[in-house]
């Protein structure tokens, strides 16, 4: 009788030990799960705080206030925007599409060019000086092509040799209606004279390169180079 009770007690004790062991394992697993859950919550909170801090720093760097409102533009930024708007709104200046009120050509409507009848002249030959005037506007206009508005200027090494402005040539007006693209010419025969001495009489000039510049009503040409031999 007592032997049977002792066997049952040993078996019950063994079962209790197994139950205690299982409970211990479960408690350890539960403790580990709770620990990992707590660490996960802590990392999540740190990441959230870091993200909020980064967003706050970025907002401050961009000029936003903590409430998230848009920053007000500074005076310099506003002025720059207004200047840009003014530049866009200001229309580009367009060239006039018609002549002056009196129908005359404007200064920018005419192009004046200089040339000579030949590129070189030998002794005894009087150079033919040529003035060419072109209406470069898109409309017809009137220009005075007379001698009153003309000047033929011959220079050598930057020094004036001859100028019709210094000579007592006839000063006459010659109004001409120029169509768009129309070209007119004026000619002057230079007697190889020095206008500082005598406009009409040939004089002894040094051989070499000379430059002709012509002008009409203040519109001046580019210099044209030609050559003269001794004579």
For residues 80-112, b (16+ Cβ closer than 10 Å) or e, as one string?
eeeeeeeeeeeeeeeeeeebeeeeebeeebbeb
- Give SS3 for 108: helix
Q: What is the C-alpha separation between 178 and 134, in angstroms, rounded?
A: 8
Here the tokens at position 146 are: 């007379």
Confidence band for 28, pLDDT divided at 50, 70 and 90: confident
Helix (H) or strand (E) holding 24: helix 2-61
For residues 119-138, give the mean pLDDT.
96
Confidence band for 107, pLDDT divided at 50, 70 and 90: confident
Residue-wise pLDDT for 75-91, tens only, equals 555 555 455 445 555 55
Residue keyed to tokens 């004790």: 13
Look at phi and psi of residue 116 and say left if phi exceeds 0, alpha if psi is from -120 to 50, else beta: beta
Confidence band for 229, pLDDT divided at 50, 70 and 90: confident
Q: What is the C-alpha separation between 222 and 115, in angstroms, rounded?
A: 10
Global pTM? 0.58
For residues 30-48, give the mean pLDDT.
57
Helix (H) or strand (E) holding 185: strand 183-189
Asked if residue 2 has pLDDT above 50, the reply is no
Q: Which of 192, 217, 209 is nearest to 123 (CA)?
A: 192
The superfamily CATH assigns to domain 107-228 is Intracellular proteinase inhibitor BsuPI (2.60.40.2360)
pLDDT of the residue at 66? 45
Identify whether the C-beta of residue 187 lies closer than 8 Å to the C-beta of residue 118: no
Q: Which residues pair with 209 in a beta bridge?
A: 227
In the chain, domain spans: 2-87, 107-228
| Distance, CA of 141 to chain centre | 33
Identify whether the C-beta of residue 45 lies closer than 8 Å to the C-beta of residue 53: no
Q: What is the C-alpha separation between 197 and 164, in angstroms, rounded?
A: 13
For residues 210-216, give the mean pLDDT.
98
List, in sequence order, the alpha helices (H) in 62-95.
Answer: 75-89
For residues 19-36, give the mean pLDDT.
67
Between 19 and 106, the higher pLDDT residue: 106
């Amino acid at each position: 009788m007592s032997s049977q009770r002792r066997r049952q007690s040993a078996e019950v004790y063994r079962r209790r030990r197994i139950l205690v062991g299982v409970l211990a394992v479960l408690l350890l697993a539960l403790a580990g799960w709770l620990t990992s859950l707590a660490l996960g919550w802590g990392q999540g909170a740190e990441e959230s705080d870091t993200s909020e801090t980064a967003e706050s720093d970025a907002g401050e760097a961009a000029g936003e206030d903590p409430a998230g409102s848009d920053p007000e533009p500074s005076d310099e930024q506003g002025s720059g925007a207004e200047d840009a708007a003014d530049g866009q709104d200001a229309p580009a200046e367009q060239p006039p599409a018609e002549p002056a009120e009196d129908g005359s050509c404007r200064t920018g409507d005419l192009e004046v060019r200089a040339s000579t009848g030949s590129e070189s002249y030998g002794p005894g030959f009087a150079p033919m000086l040529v003035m060419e005037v072109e209406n470069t506007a898109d409309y017809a206009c009137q220009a005075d092509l007379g001698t009153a508005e003309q000047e033929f200027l011959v220079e050598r090494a930057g020094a004036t040799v001859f100028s019709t402005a210094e000579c007592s040539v006839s000063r006459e007006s010659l109004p001409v209606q120029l169509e768009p693209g129309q070209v007119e010419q004026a000619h002057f025969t230079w007697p190889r004279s020095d206008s500082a001495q005598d406009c009409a009489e040939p004089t002894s000039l040094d051989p070499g390169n000379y430059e002709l510049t012509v002008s009409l009503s203040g519109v001046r040409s580019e210099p044209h180079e030609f050559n003269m031999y001794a004579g």
